[in-house]
């Protein structure tokens, strides 16, 4: 799949230790600007978040900043709203990832067939993913889900659903539907890449040996797709767990906090409640949880994809 | 789709041997393809429908947009678009374009040498560096926004487009590093060896041998980064106000304003999404690679 990087041997003149060290820096030099930039912009803020999380600090009251130790963390763990939004986050992430993946696999199987206009259909199917998330959320909130003028209710009118308020009745569900619509193409593209990398001769051999299509799918295609599906699940989860735009645009987390996920709740605490210390403590808790879950998942996935490069 | 053994038995029972049975199998296949084609088109249009409806609504009058039974046949009008363009979207478009283009250039300038040092001339601990880059994508940005906001405030860089440029560069850098690395790994080893045998200096090898090979990769990476930068909302809404606000922030205005105007809103959404949709359509072959951080070719 990937070419093995040429193993660089040290040139013969680099014998002395100083020479070798210089060689090492020459090699490292091209990567340093990007590395240093990334550390400063993405890691430094977390150090400060950690520091802020130990303080009581309201943005609207200057001079209110003082050290309070771990009391913000005690607040976070006893905050029932934090627990509720954490549960919402899990429901949203797991629900959207799984449903988008199931539909994505189905769509990929269709697109793997040859039919007239396949390229056009593929283009149509990836479009939801390309729509700016803010615009997509706005679109679903208004022309799709509007109780009176929305298309969804118009389509469902023959089934006896009149002016039903989808977002008001199922706020979390409505946001999830919008997100599933946006993320299904992502899953479909990854699975389709998996399907198209499957050696066709094996499939043909299986079918001449009398294997039924369903059998072929279960015994050959699905195991082959496994790592593509895993990759889609992990990458999708990384983005979806951070989802902010759809919640912000469609429900503002409401009513109450019924459709708020952790990013939105922390945002509310920091920018509407101005509670810097508490919001920072929540941020730290979320980061720790994410690191624990994601480190294992990511290593697993990318090791299976780049196994050949372990020597490098 | 007929199952394989069915086709085989039917082919065997066919009276005339030779070509007719092949024709029968082909006929089955063709009918199968038509069935898949219908399914494909139906789901394709279904998924595309909200976008299609957005575009249609953008060409309606408000009266046509607010009907109990959706108006399908109407005389298209451009008046919504002229309202959008005269309502001050231009500075937002300019800010979005600036943040997208400048951050993408910065990303390529930083990521290309970095990816080189992680692929063709790998440093020690290459894997650790790679995982460090990707791990920055997992960290919830919401946890970083508070210090970023406070730093920007203290440096007087709130509502400054360069703040967004820096953040978008950091946001896209891991994707670009992984993606460019996957393109570098495709450079044939013989090509490098030949260049080295000729005694060409590294810089010359870079420019004359490697760059032409990875040029399509650079273009693909640039497109992916542009898509993410153009669509970004979280930083934009929290760190900008009037001077540096981007297109997504402009759209938010529609929801907080006193009344909702469907047709006008759809026209604004079309303007906001069009650049990325076009870029994505053009780059769809490369989309998978970018989205999977170069893991899938």
pLDDT digits (tens, 9 = 90+) for A245-268: 999 999 988 788 899 999 999 898
Rounded Cα distance, A225 and A101, in Å: 12
- The whole-angstrom distance between B44's CA and the closest CA on chain A is 5
The mean per-residue pLDDT over the stretch A104-124 comes to: 91
Rounded Cα distance, B34 and A7, in Å: 51
Rg (Cα) of chain A, in Å, rounded? 25
Q: How confident is the model at residue B200 (pLDDT cuts 50, 70, 90)?
A: low
Beta pairing, strands A66-67 & A55-56: antiparallel
Q: How many CA atoms lie within 13 A of A162 on its CB side?
A: 1
CATH of the domain spanning B83-291, picked from 3.30.365.10, 3.30.390.30, 2.40.50.430, 1.10.3720.10: 1.10.3720.10
Q: How confident is the model at residue B4 (pLDDT cuts 50, 70, 90)?
A: very low
* Predicted local confidence at residue B31, as pLDDT: 67
- The whole-angstrom distance between A91's CA and the closest CA on chain B is 17
Residue B11: is the preceding peptide bond cis (ω within 30°)? no
Contact B57, A143 (CB under 8 A): yes
CATH architecture of A73-311: Orthogonal Bundle (1.10)
Q: How confident is the model at residue A293 (pLDDT cuts 50, 70, 90)?
A: confident
Q: How many CA atoms lie within 13 A of A153 on its CB side?
A: 20
Q: How confident is the model at residue B259 (pLDDT cuts 50, 70, 90)?
A: low
B276:A132 CB<8 A:
yes
- The torsion angles phi and psi of A55, rounded to 5 degrees, stand at -120, 155
B292:A125 CB<8 A:
no
What are the helix (H) ranges across chain A? 17-28, 32-38, 44-52, 71-78, 80-111, 118-130, 133-139, 151-156, 166-169, 171-196, 200-208, 213-216, 222-241, 245-250, 262-267, 276-305
- Whether A302 shows a pLDDT value over 80: the answer reads no
Rounded Cα distance, A311 and B80, in Å: 59
Rounded Cα distance, B219 and B249, in Å: 28
Percent of chain A with pLDDT over 70: 90
Contact A73, A285 (CB under 8 A): yes
Least confident of A190-204, A214-228, B250-264: B250-264
Contact A245, A169 (CB under 8 A): no
Contact B178, B234 (CB under 8 A): no
How many A/B residue pairs have CB atoms within 8 Å? 337
Q: In chain A, where are the structural domains located?
A: 73-311
Rounded Cα distance, B77 and B90, in Å: 21
CA distances from B290 to A233, B109, B297 (A): 16, 17, 9
Q: Between these two residues, A159 and B3, which has the higher pLDDT value?
A: A159
Is the Cβ of B150 closer than 8 Å to some Cβ of chain A?
Answer: yes
The mean per-residue pLDDT over the stretch A80-86 comes to: 91
Q: Identify any residues that bridge with A275 across adjacent strands, giving them in sequence order.
A: A58
DSSP state of A254: -
How far from chain centre, in Å, is Cα B233? 15
* Predicted local confidence at residue B19, as pLDDT: 54
Contact B152, B239 (CB under 8 A): yes
Identify which of B65, B67, B114 has the shortest CB distance to residue A35.
B114
Contact A5, A309 (CB under 8 A): yes
* Structure-block tokens of residue A171: 């706020």
- The torsion angles phi and psi of A187, rounded to 5 degrees, stand at -60, -45
Identify which of B136, B140, B238 has the shortest CB distance to residue A286.
B140
- Whether A44 shows a pLDDT value over 80: the answer reads yes
**A222 closest CA partner among A198, A200, A202:** A198
Other Cβ atoms less than 10 A from the Cβ of A204: the count is 12
How far from chain centre, in Å, is Cα A87? 17
Q: How many CA atoms lie within 13 A of A235 on its CB side?
A: 27
* Structure-block tokens of residue B229: 């930068």
B231:A133 CB<8 A:
yes
Tell me the chain B residues in contact with residue A92 when contact means C-beta distances shorter than 8 Å: none
ipTM of model: 0.84
Identify which of B48, B136, B296 has the shortest CB distance to residue A42.
B136
The mean per-residue pLDDT over the stretch B111-121 comes to: 87
Q: In chain B, where are the structural domains located?
A: 4-58, 83-291
- Whether B185 shows a pLDDT value over 80: the answer reads yes
**A52 closest CA partner among B167, B146, B151:** B146
- The whole-angstrom distance between B208's CA and the closest CA on chain A is 18
Q: What's the pTM? A: 0.85
- The whole-angstrom distance between A79's CA and the closest CA on chain B is 18
Identify which of A125, A208, A270 has the shortest CB distance to residue B47.
A125
Q: Identify any residues that bridge with A66 across adjacent strands, giving them in sequence order.
A: A56
Is the Cβ of B272 closer than 8 Å to some Cβ of chain A?
Answer: yes
Q: How many CA atoms lie within 13 A of B166 on its CB side?
A: 16
Q: How many helices (H) and strands (E) does chain A have?
A: 16, 2
- Whether A99 shows a pLDDT value over 60: the answer reads yes
Is the Cβ of B71 closer than 8 Å to some Cβ of chain A?
Answer: no
Nearest residue of B to residue A40, measured between CA atoms? B170
Rounded Cα distance, B46 and B40, in Å: 10
Nearest residue of A to residue B120, measured between CA atoms? A5
Rounded Cα distance, B258 and B237, in Å: 20
Least confident of B67-71, B197-201, B237-241: B197-201
Q: How many CA atoms lie within 13 A of A37 on its CB side?
A: 23
Tell me the chain B residues in contact with residue A248 when contact means C-beta distances shorter than 8 Å: 233, 237
Label residues A34-64 b or e (16+ Cβ within 10 Å = b): bbebbeebbeebbebbbebbbbbbebeeeee
Rounded Cα distance, B70 and B50, in Å: 13
* Structure-block tokens of residue B55: 């575009």
Contact A158, B82 (CB under 8 A): no
* Predicted local confidence at residue A308, as pLDDT: 43
How far from chain centre, in Å, is Cα B168? 14
B174:A38 CB<8 A:
yes
Rounded Cα distance, A152 and B65, in Å: 15
Identify which of B8, B33, B284 has the shortest CB distance to residue A115.
B33
Contact A147, B68 (CB under 8 A): no
The mean per-residue pLDDT over the stretch A291-302 comes to: 72
Tell me the chain A residues in contact with residue B189 when contact means C-beta distances shorter than 8 Å: 3, 6
Q: Between these two residues, A137 and B132, which has the higher pLDDT value?
A: A137
Is the Cβ of B160 closer than 8 Å to some Cβ of chain A?
Answer: no
The mean per-residue pLDDT over the stretch A107-121 comes to: 90
Q: What is the DSSP secondary-structure string of B152-187?
A: HHHTT-TT-HHHHHHHHHHHHHHHHHHHHHHHHTTS
* Structure-block tokens of residue A109: 């199987």
Mean predicted lDDT score pLDDT of chain A? 84
Scan residues 116-145 of B and list those with Cβ closer than 8 Å to A: 116-124, 126-127, 129, 131-145
A241:B140 CB<8 A:
yes
Q: How confident is the model at residue B258 (pLDDT cuts 50, 70, 90)?
A: very low
Q: How many CA atoms lie within 13 A of A13 on its CB side?
A: 2
Tell me the chain B residues in contact with residue A45 when contact means C-beta distances shorter than 8 Å: 144, 146-148, 151
Nearest residue of B to residue A178, measured between CA atoms? B50
Rounded Cα distance, B292 and B213, in Å: 21
């Amino acid at each position: 799949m990937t070419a093995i990087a040429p193993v660089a041997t040290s040139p013969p003149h680099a014998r002395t230790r100083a020479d070798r060290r210089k060689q090492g820096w020459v090699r490292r030099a091209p990567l340093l600007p990007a590395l240093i930039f990334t550390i400063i912009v993405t890691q430094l803020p977390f150090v400060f978040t950690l520091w802020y999380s130990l303080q009581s600090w309201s943005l609207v009251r200057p001079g209110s900043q003082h050290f309070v130790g771990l009391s913000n963390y005690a607040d976070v763990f006893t905050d029932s709203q934090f627990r509720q939004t954490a549960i919402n986050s899990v429901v949203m992430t797991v629900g959207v990832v799984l449903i988008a993946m199931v539909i994505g696999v189905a769509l990929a199987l269709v697109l793997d067939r040859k039919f007239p206009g396949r390229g056009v259909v593929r283009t149509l199917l990836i479009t939801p993913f390309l729509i700016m998330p803010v615009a997509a959320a706005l679109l679903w909130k208004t022309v799709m889900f509007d109780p009176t003028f929305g298309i969804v209710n118009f389509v469902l009118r023959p089934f006896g659903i009149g002016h039903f308020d989808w977002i008001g009745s199922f706020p979390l569900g409505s946001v999830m539907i919008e997100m599933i619509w946006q993320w299904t193409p992502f899953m479909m593209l990854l699975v389709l890449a998996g399907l198209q990398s499957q050696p066709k001769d094996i499939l043909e051999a299986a079918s001449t040996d009398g294997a039924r299509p369903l059998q072929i799918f279960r015994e050959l295609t699905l195991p082959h797709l496994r790592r593509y599906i895993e990759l889609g699940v992990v990458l999708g989860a990384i983005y979806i767990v951070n989802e902010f735009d759809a919640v912000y645009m469609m429900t503002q987390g409401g009513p109450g906090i019924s459709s708020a996920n952790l990013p939105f709740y922390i945002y509310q605490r920091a920018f509407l409640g101005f509670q810097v210390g508490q919001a920072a403590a929540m941020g730290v808790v979320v980061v720790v949880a994410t690191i624990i879950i994601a480190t294992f998942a990511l290593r697993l996935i990318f090791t299976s994809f780049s196994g050949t490069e372990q020597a490098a | 789709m007929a199952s394989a053994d069915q086709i085989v038995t039917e082919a065997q029972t066919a009276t005339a041997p030779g070509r007719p049975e092949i024709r029968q199998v082909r006929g089955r296949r063709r009918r199968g393809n038509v069935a898949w084609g219908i399914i494909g088109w139906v789901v394709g249009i279904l998924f595309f429908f909200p976008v299609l409806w957005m575009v249609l609504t953008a060409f309606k009058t408000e009266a046509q947009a607010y009907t109990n039974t959706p108006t399908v046949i109407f005389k298209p009008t451009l008046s919504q678009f002229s309202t959008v363009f005269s309502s001050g979207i231009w500075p937002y478009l300019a800010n979005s374009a600036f943040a997208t283009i400048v951050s993408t250039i910065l990303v390529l300038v930083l990521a290309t040498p970095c990816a080189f040092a992680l692929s063709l001339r790998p440093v020690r601990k290459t894997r650790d560096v790679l995982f460090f880059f990707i791990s920055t994508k997992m960290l919830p940005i919401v946890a970083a926004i508070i210090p970023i906001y406070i730093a920007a405030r203290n440096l007087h860089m709130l509502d400054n487009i360069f703040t967004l440029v820096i953040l978008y560069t950091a946001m896209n850098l891991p994707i670009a590093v992984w993606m460019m690395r996957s393109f570098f790994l495709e450079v044939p080893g013989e090509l490098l060896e030949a260049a080295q045998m000729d005694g060409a200096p590294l810089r010359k090898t870079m420019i004359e041998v490697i760059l032409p090979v990875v040029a399509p990769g650079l273009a693909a990476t640039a497109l992916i980064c542009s898509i993410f930068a153009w669509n970004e909302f979280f930083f934009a809404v929290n760190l900008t106000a009037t001077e540096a606000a981007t297109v997504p922030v402009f759209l938010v205005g529609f929801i907080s304003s006193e009344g909702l105007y469907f047709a006008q809103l759809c026209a604004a959404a079309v303007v906001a999404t069009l650049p990325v949709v076009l870029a994505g359509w053009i780059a769809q072959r490369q989309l998978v690679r970018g989205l999977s951080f170069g893991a899938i070719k």
